[in-house]
Amino acid sequence: MATGFFGEANRIKGSVYRGSFNGDDAAVKVMKGDVSSEINLLKRINHSNIIRLSGFCVHGGNTYLVYEHAANGSLSDWLHSNKQQTYSPLTWKQRVQIAYDVADALNYLHNYANPPYIHKNLKTGSILLDSVFRAKLSNFGLARTTANEEEEGGLQLTRHVVGTQGYMAPEYIENGVITPKLDVFAFGVVILELLSRREATAADEGGGDHEELLSSSIRKVLEGDNVREKLRGFIDHSLGQEYPLDLAFSMAQLAKSCVAHDLNTRPAIQEVFMTLSKILSSSLDWDPSYELEQSTSTGHPHGR
């Protein structure tokens, strides 16, 4: 394992360094403390949209986790970096593909991994992009198995609430409730970020100390009158007219259902994945010239 002695030139971000492992590019994460739960999880699972753990070693009180290298870094950088010359806007099709990939990974974790897992730390910073912008879910340090859920009445409780502001579901913040719907809520926020290129939390436009949550702002967009105009105002302006408004509306509606305050009204990730599969298929068939023709006519999403 070679990393150039973890020099600054090889630092990717934080405690993650670029290196090589068996001749392949790798990302080496240096961690302190007990990371056995993350290692045990990643050793058990194998999915093309989940970052692959190639190996690990313990030395000098540190654990070195060797992952496959995601050449294009984190989704957070592509959506929110100030370095516009480095990070050009993602296309509509790339954004839908990324959402589909993450839903695929979550569907695997919730329904097909043995035992099933809740990620618990989903955010754009936990989504890495490979050389062709396919998504890889990472950061499994907070992941928790759902194997004992049935014995405990279908949910778990914790007094130790940890996470990132803007992505945490209300039942988790208020009561420490942990279910797979926790990931569904966070994924809804990720979809909204992909649509709008806005961050999960933003300073209150009124100038106060209060932060506005992206998960709350979508309700104002999709409720009431002039939904079409409000949605165009919400969607990332760098896309211009280069997106299908009807499919963007479907994505926004899906995200809104994912960030519902009541966890019981949120869809299961399997349903989310199936919906995104249809949106992706339609997006890949979409012809930009059609949208230009439609932009001068009425029709498509009206106020509901």
Mean pLDDT of 86-113: 95
CB distance 16 to 1 below 8 Å: no
What's the pLDDT score for residue 155?
Answer: 73
The mean pLDDT value for 62-86 works out to: 85
Query: Under DSSP, is residue 70 helix (H, G, I), strand (E, B) or coil?
Result: coil
- State how far the alpha carbon of 85 is from the alpha carbons of 33, 64, 81, 82, 88, in Å: 38, 33, 10, 9, 7
Q: Tell me what percent of the residues of the chain surpass a pLDDT of 90.
A: 59
Residue 27: closest CA among 64, 59, 78, 79: 64
The pLDDT value recorded for residue 135 is: 98
Residue type, 7: G
pTM: 0.87
- Decide if 245 contacts 291 (C-beta within 8 A): yes
Q: How many helices (H) and strands (E) does the chain have?
A: 10, 13
Pair 109, 146: CB distance under 8 Å? no
Predicted pLDDT at 251: 98
The three-class DSSP label of residue 17 is strand
Name the pLDDT band for 10 (thresholds 50, 70, 90): low
- pLDDT computed for residue 303 by the predictor: 43
pLDDT for 253-279, tens place per residue?
999 999 999 999 999 999 999 999 999
- The structural domains of the chain, ordered by start, are 4-68 (3.30.200.20), 75-294 (1.10.510.10)
Q: Would you state the structure tokens that stand for residue 216, as one six-digit string?
A: 């709350």
Give the pLDDT confidence of 100-158 residue by residue, as tens digits. Answer: 999 999 999 999 999 999 999 999 999 999 999 999 999 998 999 986 655 445 678 88
The pLDDT of residue 97: 98
Euclidean distance between CA atoms 43 and 248, whole angstroms:
37
How many CB atoms are closer than 10 A to CB 49?
21
- Can you tell me the distance from the alpha carbon of 177 to that of 152, in angstroms, rounded to the nearest whole number? 12
Q: Please say if the pLDDT value at position 24 is more than 80.
A: no
Instruction: Say how many C-beta atoms besides its own lie within 10 A of residue 73's C-beta.
Output: 18
DSSP code per residue over 119-149 = ----SGGGEEE-TT--EEE---TT-EE-TTT
Are 46 and 107 in contact by the 8 Å Cβ rule? The answer is no
